[in-house]
Amino acid sequence: MTDYVNWFEDGARPYFEKGLLPLAGKPNLKFVQLGVFTGNASVWMHDNVLTHPLSQLWDVDTWEGGSDLADVDFHEVWALYNARVRGRPRIHTRRETTDEFFRTPPYEGRWADFIYIDADHTEFAVLLDALHSHCIIKSGGIIAFDDVIWGIKEEIPLRDRPEFAIKSFLHATEGSYKYLGGSMDANQLWIERV
């Protein structure tokens, strides 16, 4: 198998440690990861935070990639992900779009303690993922955005990157969240529902 970039270790892990380690070992935690790739963050969350037998993680990804990952063999990525999560019983894999996941969520109402948004990076998709997440995140729950400034250096059109969708979501939900870490100038932005 090819060695793939470990984006989790290359920048996201300090945010996960700061935001999620205080929850380690608590029962009944329900985490959602939208966009998973090879499962580096999944394994870390399972092994370091979701250690109580009643805590769970839903990994949601099509494992088909997008235009920005056209040169990646997603059959190989899917196999690598499955090898990594095998034997980790609190990880539930949903091989589908995020829209499909939100149409058939595992619970009703506000049930999620943490949602990581890193799936389709287009403006429309990020905004939908954020709005759907807003509907299921508990009070005190955390929503985290990855790749906030993705595509800026490459001058990718605004509609094809997350930045404006995240700004629109924050504007539309102003007063509903407090900042935990990161910023609109960083690659991560973490907020807590108040």
Predicted local confidence at residue 152, as pLDDT = 67
Predicted local confidence at residue 149, as pLDDT = 77
> Is the residue at 183 inside a domain?
yes
The CATH number linked to 148 is 3.40.50.150
Number of domains composing the chain = 1
**How many angstroms separate the Cα of 25 from the Cα of each of 40, 54, 121, 137, 185?**
19, 10, 32, 20, 32
Radius of gyration, CA atoms only, the chain: 16
> Is the residue at 5 inside a domain?
no
Contact 29, 50 (CB under 8 A): yes
pLDDT tens for the 194 residues of the chain, in order: 568 889 899 889 999 999 999 999 999 999 999 999 999 999 999 999 999 999 999 999 999 987 677 788 999 999 999 999 999 999 999 999 999 999 999 999 999 999 999 999 899 999 999 999 999 999 999 999 998 876 566 677 767 778 889 999 999 999 999 999 887 777 899 999 99
Predicted local confidence at residue 123, as pLDDT = 92
Predicted local confidence at residue 160, as pLDDT = 78
> Is the residue at 43 inside a domain?
yes
Predicted local confidence at residue 147, as pLDDT = 84
> Is the residue at 3 inside a domain?
no
Query: What's the domain range around 115?
Result: 12-193
Predicted local confidence at residue 39, as pLDDT = 97
> Is the residue at 1 inside a domain?
no
> Is the residue at 7 inside a domain?
no
CA distance 128 to 165: 9
Predicted local confidence at residue 190, as pLDDT = 97
**How many angstroms separate the Cα of 33 from the Cα of each of 7, 86, 103, 159, 174?**
14, 17, 16, 23, 23
> Is the residue at 19 inside a domain?
yes
> Is the residue at 72 inside a domain?
yes
Predicted local confidence at residue 71, as pLDDT = 83
CA distance 154 to 11: 19
From the CB of residue 128, how many other CB atoms can be counted at a distance below 10 Å? Answer: 18
